Amino acid sequence: MSKAIVHLDVSVTTINRDSMLDEEDLGPADEKVLDMLNEGRVTAPFVAEKTGYSLQYVRDRLGRLVEHGNARKVYEGLYELVDDPRKEIE
């Protein structure tokens, strides 16, 4: 009887709080995206439809929030809030 060896590669992303966006780094579109993320998970097409911003611009803004650790992609095209930079740290 032969045994199979399975290698599981698990990637862990760490968030450097120094790289997160601050409130002064946010534009009007970021504010609207964060407002929607505070209500729950969103997709870029949903945000674009509700805000009137172009789909590509919303994708760029969501990508920036993910890049800085303020949001995360939970599934292809689905985003959730990690840390709202507008809230003070206690």
Tens digit of each residue's pLDDT (9 = 90 or more) over 4-62? 665 554 444 444 455 677 667 788 999 999 999 999 999 999 999 999 999 999 999 99
CB distance 13 to 32 below 8 Å? no
CATH of the domain at 66: 1.10.10.10
pTM: 0.72
How many domains in the chain? 1
CA distances from 90 to 19, 33, 71, 81, 87 (A): 18, 23, 20, 18, 9
What residue numbers bound the domain in which 31 lies? Answer: 17-81
Residue 24 lies in a domain: yes
Which CA distances in Å does 73 have to 7, 30, 70, 79, 90? 25, 16, 11, 4, 26
Sheet strands side by side (includes 42-43):
42-43, 78-81, 71-75
Is position 22 within any domain?
yes
